[in-house]
Each structure stands twice: as structure tokens, then as C-alpha cells.
Amino acid sequence: MARGLGSIAVLALALTMALATDHSPLQDFCVADLNGQVMVNGFACKNPSTVQVNDFYYSGLHMMGNTSNALGSSVTPVFVFHLPGLNTLGISLARLDFAPWGVIPPHTHPRATEILTVLEGQIQVGFVTSNPENRHISKILNKGDVFVFPVNLVHYQRNIGKTYAVAMVALSSQNPGVIPIASAVFGSNPDISTDILAKAFQVSDDIISDMQLKF
């Protein structure tokens, strides 16, 4: 009886460890069937016989994004929705463009670590560690510098130069997701009650209402 319980415990531990990491690919590729009706974690595979070279190809990252907005920044993503061949590979990338003093405001990627390389300009980057330390780790990067943002931590980027800046980021998920902090808090649908946010931020209900109108 004891031996049987021991075997069950070992099996349970092995299953827990197996489920804690992504499975290794079981085929050469699994091009996303973006129009498929099967709901899975990610996308179901297209029939390999229908896969074409363009399923593994994307063009456009040489083009500057439109930074004529309130933030003065633009993100051009290449996720699985744009490049179906990324499905199951656990990787994606994006181009970041900044007008002078443009900013990508504090946000998180719930499913990915991010690594950034500056291609042009001077960019201030930073992230904040988890509670209770809430340590702000920040650095000014120049062309050719690299910085990594650990998975799911709040982080930001800002151009501190007088010229346009460009960076390229790689992310450890085909669909990293993004949660902009201000939009999530003040622009949720439906709204979070003003009294909850007023107490959380220690300000008046009127200030919260004004913030919600902005988002």
C-alpha cells in the first residue's frame, strides 16, 4: 500500500513538472489557422499541405510608425496574428518608434519577457519590481544598447533625445499581450467604481471621474 502511494506521489510530481513548462514541438511547424473554429491555447495548425512560404514571412518593419499622437510613439507588432508561422514557437517581435520626448507609458506583458535593442536615438527605459519593494530600475540607452524587461513587470520606454528614436524588441511569446496601466485602471469597460479608485489613489471622486473621461 505504501509503495503504491509512493508511486502515485512520484507520478503526480512528474505530471506537475511537465505541465509547468511548454511542450516541445512534435512536428516541424504548426502554422496558425487564424480562421479555424477549434478553440485551443493558441491556434490550431493549418494542414501542412496548405502551408505557403508567406506563412513564415512578414514585410514592413523598415517603415516608420505614425507617432502623431498624444504619446508621440508607435508600436508595430509582429505577433502570430501577423505572422502565422510563429504559432507554438514562443517568440515575436515589434518595432518601436518615438518622436522627440515620445513615450510608451507604463504597461505589462502578462505572457512574455521583453528584450530591447536601440537602433537609433537615446531611450530611457525602466521597470518596477513587485510589492513590497517596488524598486524602480532605470537606465538611459544609446544606439546598440540592449535591455531586458522581466516577464509581467510594469515597464516603460521614453525618447529623451531631440531627434526620432527607433528600437526593436523581441518577446518570449507568440502573443505576449499588453496591459497599459492607465488604460486598464481608468478605461476599463465597464468602469471601476470611482469610490474604489478614489480610495486606492487617495484623491477625490471628481479627480477620478476626470481621469476616466480621458480614457
pLDDT tens readout for residues 140-163? 999 999 999 999 999 999 999 999
pLDDT for 40: 83
Q: Strand 165-171 to strand 92-98: parallel, antiparallel, or no bridges (unpaired)?
A: antiparallel
pTM of the entire structure? 0.86
pLDDT tens readout for residues 6-25? 555 554 444 444 444 456 67
pLDDT tens readout for residues 160-174? 999 999 999 999 999
**Residues whose CB is less than 8 angstroms from the CB of residue 168 and which lie 6 or more positions away in sequence, other chains included:** 61, 93, 94, 95, 96, 116, 117, 119
pLDDT tens readout for residues 89-128? 999 999 999 999 999 999 999 999 999 999 999 999 999 9
Question: Cell 485602471 identifies what position?
Answer: 185
pLDDT for 19: 47
Q: Which element (helix H / strand E) includes 213?
A: helix 205-214
CB-based contact 129:137 (threshold 8 Å): yes
Residue 150, classed as helix, strand or coil, is coil
The average pLDDT across 32-39 equals 88
pLDDT for 18: 46
Measured CA distances, 41 to 34, 88, 152, 174 (Å): 13, 10, 19, 11
**Residues whose CB is less than 8 angstroms from the CB of residue 183 and which lie 6 or more positions away in sequence, other chains included:** 215
**What count of other Cβ atoms lies within 10 Å of the Cβ of residue 102?**
23
Model confidence band, residue 26 (pLDDT cutoffs 50, 70, 90): confident
